[in-house]
Chain A
Amino acid sequence: MNPLALLVPDYTLRVVALGAGMLGLVAGALGCFAVLRRQSLLGDAISHAALPGIVLAFLLTGAKNPLVLVLGAALAGWLGTLVVTLIVRHSRLPADSALGIVLSVFFGAGLVLLTWVQQMPTAAQAGLDTFLFGQAATMLAGDVVVITTLGSIALLAVAVFWKEFKLLTFDPEYGATQGLPMRSIDILLTTFLVIAIVIGLQTVGVVLMSALVIAPAAAARQWTDSLGVMVLLAAGFGAIAGVGGALLSGAAEHMPTGPTIVLSAMVLVMLSVSFAPRRGLVWDAVQRRRQRQQLRTDAVLADLHELAQHHKGAHAHDVTVLQMMRGSRTDVPRALGVLRSRGLADRDAAGGWYITEAGRDEITRPGGAGHGDEHGH
């Protein structure tokens, strides 16, 4: 028996989970390149630009064939990126203005067409408006076939052109001197980004689809310093957000799927930004705290050293003296405890503190405690 059938016994839910998972997988993987190329806004422009393509494809064929609608969306989305490129190349408008213009003009045209189509006397157009905010519940087996087929092609392309896409993303100018046609590779990568976006439009909606492109990649970047791992993680995060969002929206009546998917993705982003090792905020705070305590401990050791030099010998000092030297912001007893456990300072029978031989070595060692604020690693 199909393992998915055991996990999700309801057939409709199973179809929805499979489709949403697949489109999340693809959007997450392709999104990595968009995020690393600082083209996050391009995803937004593509998804919004796709709307008139969807409506026109419906108008031309008179039916809601999923493949036809996706093709219409892809053509319009692709045309949108082409217009952006042309504006940037032939005018003095900066890229973000070009993206903003294309996004709003195409989306506006799409809304006008959509409103007009919905006033038509036939019933065939019913449901086209779900492309705005997405509706996972409308997903049929035929849609999943289209999503899975096109998505697999996009994922396969990432695997096949891995080296080319990496070079384009990291250093396109150097890539050109290598004799690789970077402009063609750019068109190729953008085409697969368009595919990743348009297969999600029915489920996630044109308004919020770009979040599923950006969020999983942004979250994945927090956890790894390898492009390969990042793409795999982002694909996983995208699938989780897709399935999670689809199931959430399925649980409430008339809840569009786009917002629930975006919220699921944002949970992943927030967890990653907070808790990822090395790049996360919590990690940062812990490191800073540790460094601060290290500096304060070193300072107390330096005080002991200074006192010892002043008194010419192993003369012990009371905690209160050391506390006065450091001020109230340093927990001197704690620092002394740390120094003692490291064998750098010790306490005599009367409870006075003094610096040990090892402590003196530590102070005079280059890069040691006596050398102030050079404590990186």
Chain B
Amino acid sequence: MRDDVAIEINDLTVAYREQPVLWDVDLTVPAGVLMAIVGPNGAGKTTLIKSVLGLLKPAAGRILVHGRPYREQRRLVAYVPQRGTVDWDFPTNVLDVVQMGRYGALGWVRRTGRREREQALAALEQVDMVDYADRQISQLSGGQQQRVFLARALVQDARVYLMDEPFQGVDAKTERAIVTVLQSLREAGNTVVVVHHALQTVPEYFDWVTLLNVRLITAGPVAEVFTGENLRVTYGGRVPFHGSMPPVSQEQL
């Protein structure tokens, strides 16, 4: 297993009905970074992480996770989908959803037991949701739903965490709670990749950034590549950004 590189993508092209969604993307994500994927709508951000997860079949390209194909490294990768992808009126409670993060490790037929329950409670503790363990999931706010999904990924005990817009439509309290968890994941040596929309928080939350618009524009440390010029190229001149144009640095924010 490679320890220095978490994700290595070569020549990745993904098409949807002959329309390229990602075009010839080469990307190396070093291990231990907290990385944002940034780009306009339709840039292929979600497609990129779904390709890493093997949920989409690329037209071409090769993807390695810690040096080996994803199929062999599944246990190392945890996924937080957009919370709108499931029916929150499903008849179950928070603890049950979080335990679903152990289903893969359990394998076929084996049931969850006390161990999975304790892991789930510990993960809920991390996202400050332990009081909601028995709550029916339809009674959760958007931010609470997002934290439940994060807890479900945490119980996977992975090395690489892929998250699709975890800050979408959540309250400020949840955003802070999630950022704290993501940063502690990185402190523990894990790699965290986040599809992100709010450009103004990129320098504050992340240390690595990928700018994407069907093609890879650039990727690297936030301090080096998160510049006004690169953002203009990514967004085609229309940067959805308030205030002065970057180069953005910590001091400006």
Q: A177-B79, A179-B74, A180-B104 are in contact. Are A170 and B53 (CB under 8 A)?
A: no
Cα of A138 to Cα of B142 in the assembled complex, Å:
54
**What residues of A have a CB within 8 angstroms of the CB of B169 in the complex?**
none
Option from B74, B87, B97, B108 in Cβ contact (under 8 Å) with A177: B74
**Interface status of B168 (Cβ within 8 A of chain A):** no
B91, A221: Cβ atoms under 8 Å? Answer: yes
> Restricting to B75-100, which residues have a CB under 8 Å from any CB of A?
75, 77, 79, 81, 85-87, 90-93, 97, 100
Evaluate contact between A178 and B103: CB separation under 8 angstroms.
Answer: yes
Inter-chain contact B100/A170, CB cutoff 8 Å: yes
- Residues of B with C-beta under 8 A to A167: 100, 103
> A172 → chain B, closest Cβ, in Å?
9
A177 touches B90 (CB 8 A): no
Question: Do residues B53 and A175 form an inter-chain contact, with CB atoms below 8 A?
Answer: no
Q: Are B77 and A170 in contact (CB under 8 A)?
A: no
B54 part of interface (Cβ distance < 8 Å): yes
8 A Cβ contacts from A13-65 to B: 36
Q: Is the CB of B85 within 8 A of A160?
A: no
Check A348 for interface membership: any CB of B closer than 8 A: no
Whether A109 sits at the interface, judged by CB under 8 Å, is no
B55 at the interface (CB under 8 A from A): yes
| In-complex Cβ contact of A171 among B53, B85, B93, B136 (8 A) | B85
Those of A223-248 within 8 Å (CB) of chain B: 224-227, 229-230
- Are A173 and B103 within 8 A (Cβ)? no
Q: A36-B90, A167-B103 are in contact. Are A176 and B54 (CB under 8 A)?
A: yes
**B227 close to A (CB within 8 Å):** no
Assess whether B90 is in contact with A174, with CB atoms less than 8 Å apart.
no
Distance A175 CA – B156 CA, assembled complex (angstroms)? 12
Are B108 and A164 in touch, CB under 8 angstroms? yes
Q: Does B111 contact A (CB under 8 A)?
A: yes
Classify chain A: how many residues form its interface, as a range: 20 to 34
B201 within 8 A of A: no
**In the assembly, what is the distance between CA of A227 and CA of B91, in Å?**
5
Residue A274 interfacial (CB < 8 Å) = no
CB closest chain-B residue, reference A163: B103
Which one of B93, B101, B108 contacts A225 once the chains associate, using CB atoms below 8 Å? Answer: B93
B: number of interface residues (CB 8 Å): 29
Bound complex: CA of A161 vs CA of B111, how far in Å? Answer: 9
Summed over the interface, the residue pairs from A and B with CB atoms below 8 Å come to a total of 75
A169 in the interface (beta carbon within 8 A): yes
Least distance between B156 CB and chain A CB atoms (Å): 8
Q: Which of chain B's residues has its CB closest to A227's CB?
A: B91
Q: Is the CB of B54 within 8 A of A170?
A: no
A36 vs B152: C-alpha distance in the bound complex, in angstroms? 21
Q: How far is the CB of B47 from chain A (nearest CB, A)?
A: 13
Chain B residues with CB under 8 A of A229: 91
Give the residues in chain B near A178, CB-CB below 8 Å: 74, 100-101, 103-104
Chain B neighbourhood of A175, CB < 8 A = 100, 103
Task: Say whether B111 contacts A177, CB under 8 Å.
Answer: no
Q: For A169, what are the chain B residues with a Cβ–Cβ distance below 8 Å?
A: 90
A164 vs B111: C-alpha distance in the bound complex, in angstroms?
A: 10
Most B Cβ at <10 Å: residue of A166, A178, A225: A178
Least distance between B166 CB and chain A CB atoms (Å):
14
Once the chains are docked, how many angstroms separate the CA of A225 from the CA of B89? 9
Within 8 A of A (CB), among B126-155: 136, 138, 152
Q: Counting CB contacts under 8 A, is B59 at the interface?
A: no
Q: Is B184 an interface residue (CB 8 A)?
A: no
**Chain A residues near B91 (CB-CB < 8 A):** 36, 221, 224-227, 229-230
- B112 at the A/B interface (Cβ < 8 Å)? yes
- The residues in B between 14 and 62 inclusive whose CB is less than 8 angstroms from any CB of A are 53-55
Known: A36-B90, A171-B100, A227-B92. A177 touches B77 (CB 8 A): yes
CB under 8 Å from chain B, chain A span 152-169: 160-164, 166-167, 169
Binding site for B on A (CB under 8 A): 36, 160-164, 166-167, 169-171, 173-180, 221, 224-227, 229-230
Name 20 interchain pairs, CB-CB below 8 A, sorted by A: A36-B90, A161-B109, A163-B110, A163-B111, A163-B112, A164-B103, A164-B108, A170-B87, A170-B92, A170-B100, A174-B81, A177-B54, A177-B79, A178-B74, A178-B104, A179-B104, A180-B104, A221-B91, A225-B92, A225-B138
Known A-B contacts: A170-B87, A173-B55, A177-B54. Give 10 more (CB < 8 A): A36-B87, A163-B106, A164-B103, A171-B81, A174-B81, A177-B74, A177-B104, A178-B103, A221-B91, A226-B93
